[in-house]
């Protein structure tokens, strides 16, 4: 306690703030990288004129409230005011579109990653670059606005992400961490900057539009982890803390995206390592040793906070259907007069999945609440199908649901492993599906045929990850990977499960049926 109070008084603390899709979380860490206080603010995006957005008012109200709640947490726990912060970092949802004119005015409402309005632009650019450009990337939004002949395009002076916008307002610096920048426009990992060949191709493609700018001049300057990306100005300090208590002068690290902070928070930035985040959606991030041989629409290429290429496999659906089935079993327990708590029923049902048949005994589940690009399904229809002679019991039902949650991801991972021969030494699992010890972990290990590790600290999240990137500015004598391995996670409690051969074979059999049964899912979309 004395050490923490001294750190707070002397400003030997780092602040990380992450803007997630439903919560803005602030985390303060001490000089030993331990979280010592936190604050948050819940928010929701809004559909305005067909665009998913957050208003500027929402952004600033959320930031100030989250920070104010963190300050109150510090005062309550340590009885000292928070006036001086050594290092600060901001992170947010990647991609999207925030375009500003020369006076710094937002030209159109913030278009978030959730918008699927750029299909034509994404396809044309992917074909042009021979590089996958997802619909949610900033360059797809910009080019789609040009295709749509939107009037604001000629007035653009600066284009950035949400994290880049916050950083700019607090420091005056138009910069972005390389990981976040890699979701705006492709990065050349050799140079650590935007891909010059692609910039040239884009410039040639838009010649007929006669816009008064070059794309490179609109984009933020790219910085890597460890770089001092600016200092908190007097105006910035008042924006963050309107009470006026916070002193200016804090050093800020490059603003990053939520993918990069997730890698940091799970110690997954070294080559041949990766992490799988599994909750409402599921995605894998694998740090590459070399570039992929060809374009794969199922694979996004982004970077770590130091610029190493990362293959991202993203699926929209994971635990939603599992939660629905658990809720139904819970309702049934109430009808029996013996209601079972959520804390008890999840481990009960998850653990029974381990005793099911390795291939789920002929029970097949699709937990598709929304469409999936990897499997070419446009909309979601949760489906449960089985043959009359299937071994239909609770164990196989739950095992099928959990394996289904991993199956779309596994299809994408097959491309990396089988077609691209990517080597993976370590996968770190984090998210709600891993809360029951061993179950989700062992079944994921079978699904991707790789060891899967889980750490207690993985639950701290991206706000902790960006706080660590802020703290890393004081440890640049080490690489980021070494800083995480030797300083932050040196004493971390890590539980690793190797893939079981029988489970692997069982999943292969399940996945084969799963792929064939996608015709059932498509029929459900067409007819129901």
> What are the pLDDT digits (tens) for 497-524?
999 999 999 999 999 999 999 999 999 9
Is 49 strand, coil or helix? coil
Contact by Cβ (8 Å): 449, 296: no
Does residue 506 share a domain with residue 491?
Answer: no
What does the H/E/C string look like for 341-385? CHHHHHHHHHHHHCCCCCCHHHEEEECCCEEECCCCEEECCCEEE
Geometric angle at alpha carbon 161, from 156 and 164, rounded to 5° = 100
At 459 the pLDDT is: 58
Mean per-residue pLDDT of the chain:
94
CA distances from 321 to 362, 381, 522 (A): 19, 10, 17
Cross-strand pairs, 316? none
Q: Is the pLDDT of residue 457 over 80?
A: no
Mean pLDDT of 112-118: 86
Does residue 281 share a domain with residue 235?
Answer: no
At 21 the pLDDT is: 84
Q: Is the pLDDT of residue 2 over 70?
A: yes
Q: How far apart are alpha carbons 126 and 296 in whole angstroms?
A: 10
Q: Is the pLDDT of residue 50 over 70?
A: yes
Question: Which residues lie below 8 Å from residue 436, measured CB to CB, with a gap of 6+?
Answer: 346, 347, 350, 351
Closest CA to 499 of 447, 452, 453, 446: 446
CATH number at residue 35: 3.30.420.40
Q: Is the pLDDT of residue 460 over 80?
A: no
Q: Is the pLDDT of residue 61 over 90?
A: yes
At 280 the pLDDT is: 79
Closest CA to 214 of 224, 222, 226, 206: 206
Q: Which of 108-112, 406-410, 451-455 has the lowest mean pLDDT?
A: 451-455
Q: Is 376 within the bounds of a domain?
A: yes
Q: How far apart are alpha carbons 9 and 280 in whole angstroms?
A: 40
At 387 the pLDDT is: 94
Contact by Cβ (8 Å): 128, 153: no
Interval 234-250: pLDDT, tens: 999 999 999 999 999 99
Does residue 328 share a domain with residue 309?
Answer: no
Interval 64-95: pLDDT, tens: 999 999 999 999 999 999 999 999 999 999 99
Mean pLDDT of 391-413: 97
Q: Is 406 within the bounds of a domain?
A: no
Does residue 192 share a domain with residue 45?
Answer: yes
Structural domains counted in the chain: 3
Please tell me whether the overall predicted TM-score, pTM, comes out greater than 0.85 for this model. yes
Q: Is the pLDDT of residue 116 over 90?
A: no
At 148 the pLDDT is: 97
Q: Is the pLDDT of residue 438 over 80?
A: yes
Of 231, 258, 285, which residue is a domain's last? 258
Is 336 strand, coil or helix? coil
Does residue 246 share a domain with residue 178?
Answer: yes
Of 258, 285, 301, which residue is a domain's last? 258
Does residue 33 share a domain with residue 95?
Answer: yes
Does residue 330 share a domain with residue 295?
Answer: no
Q: Is 454 within the bounds of a domain?
A: yes
Does residue 180 share a domain with residue 34?
Answer: yes
At 113 the pLDDT is: 85
Closest CA to 399 of 445, 332, 349: 349
Interval 247-300: pLDDT, tens: 999 999 999 999 899 899 999 999 999 999 888 788 899 999 988 999 998 899
Does residue 394 share a domain with residue 245?
Answer: no
Closest CA to 17 of 92, 90, 94, 72: 90
The secondary structure element, H or E, covering residue 188 is: strand 187-188
At 373 the pLDDT is: 80
Does residue 375 share a domain with residue 237?
Answer: no
Domain, as residue range, for 244: 1-258
Q: Is 326 within the bounds of a domain?
A: yes
At 426 the pLDDT is: 85
The percent of residues in the chain predicted with pLDDT above 90, rounded, is 84
At 233 the pLDDT is: 98
Does residue 351 share a domain with residue 206?
Answer: no
At 291 the pLDDT is: 86
Does residue 209 share a domain with residue 326?
Answer: no
Q: Is 471 within the bounds of a domain?
A: yes
Is 448 strand, coil or helix? helix
The secondary structure element, H or E, covering residue 56 is: helix 56-78
């Amino acid at each position: 306690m004395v050490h923490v109070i001294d750190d707070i008084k002397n400003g030997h603390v780092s602040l990380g703030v992450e803007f997630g899709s439903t919560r803005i979380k602030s985390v303060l860490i001490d000089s030993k990288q331990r979280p010592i206080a936190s604050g948050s603010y819940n928010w929701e995006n809004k559909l305005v004129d067909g665009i998913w957005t957050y208003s500027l008012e929402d952004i600033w109200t959320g930031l100030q409230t989250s920070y104010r709640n963190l300050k109150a947490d510090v005062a309550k726990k340590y009885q000292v005011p928070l006036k001086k912060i050594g290092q600060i970092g901001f992170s947010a949802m990647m991609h999207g579109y925030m375009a500003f004119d020369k006076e710094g005015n937002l030209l159109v409402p913030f278009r978030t990653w959730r918008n699927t309005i750029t299909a034509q632009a994404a396809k044309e650019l992917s074909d042009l670059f021979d590089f996958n450009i997802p619909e949610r990337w900033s360059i797809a939004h910009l080019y789609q606005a040009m295709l749509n002949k939107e009037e604001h395009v000629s007035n653009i002076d600066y284009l950035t992400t949400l994290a880049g916008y916050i950083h700019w307002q607090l420091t005056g610096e138009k910069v972005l961490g390389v990981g976040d920048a890699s979701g705006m426009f492709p990065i050349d990992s050799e140079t650590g900057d935007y891909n010059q060949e692609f910039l040239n191709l884009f410039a040639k493609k838009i010649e007929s539009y006669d816009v008064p700018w070059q794309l490179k001049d609109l984009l933020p300057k790219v910085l890597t982890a460890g770089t001092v990306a600016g200092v908190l100005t007097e105006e910035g300090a008042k924006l963050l803390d309107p009470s006026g208590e916070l002193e200016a002068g804090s050093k800020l690290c490059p603003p990053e995206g939520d993918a990069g902070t997730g890698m940091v928070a799970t110690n997954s930035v070294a080559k041949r390592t990766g992490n799988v985040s599994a909750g409402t959606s599921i995605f894998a991030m694998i740090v590459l040793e070399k570039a992929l041989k060809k374009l794969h629409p199922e694979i996004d290429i982004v970077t770590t906070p130091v610029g190493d290429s990362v293959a991202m496999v993203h699926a929209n659906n994971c635990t939603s259907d599992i939660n629905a089935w658990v809720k139904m079993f819970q309702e049934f327990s109430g009808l029996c007069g013996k209601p079972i708590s959520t804390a008890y029923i999840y481990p009960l049902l998850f653990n029974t999945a381990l005793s099911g048949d390795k291939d789920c005994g002929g029970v097949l589940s699709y937990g598709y609440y929304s469409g999936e690009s990897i499997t070419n399904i446009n909309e979601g229809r949760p489906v449960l199908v089985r043959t009359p002679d299937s071994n239909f019991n609770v164990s196989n039902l739950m095992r099928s649901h959990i394996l289904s949650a991993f199956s779309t991801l596994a299809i994408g991972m097959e491309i990396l492993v089988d077609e691209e021969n990517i080597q993976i030494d370590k996968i770190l699992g984090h998210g709600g599906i891993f809360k029951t010890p061993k179950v989700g972990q062992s079944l994921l290990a079978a699904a991707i045929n790789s060891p899967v590790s889980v750490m207690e600290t993985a639950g701290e999240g991206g706000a902790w990850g960006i706080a660590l990137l802020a703290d890393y500015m004081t440890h640049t004598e080490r690489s980021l990977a070494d800083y995480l391995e030797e300083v932050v996670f040196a004493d971390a409690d890590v539980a690793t499960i190797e893939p079981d051969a029988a489970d692997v074979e069982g999943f292969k059999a399940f996945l084969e049926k799963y792929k064939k049964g996608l015709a059932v899912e498509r029929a459900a979309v067409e007819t129901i």
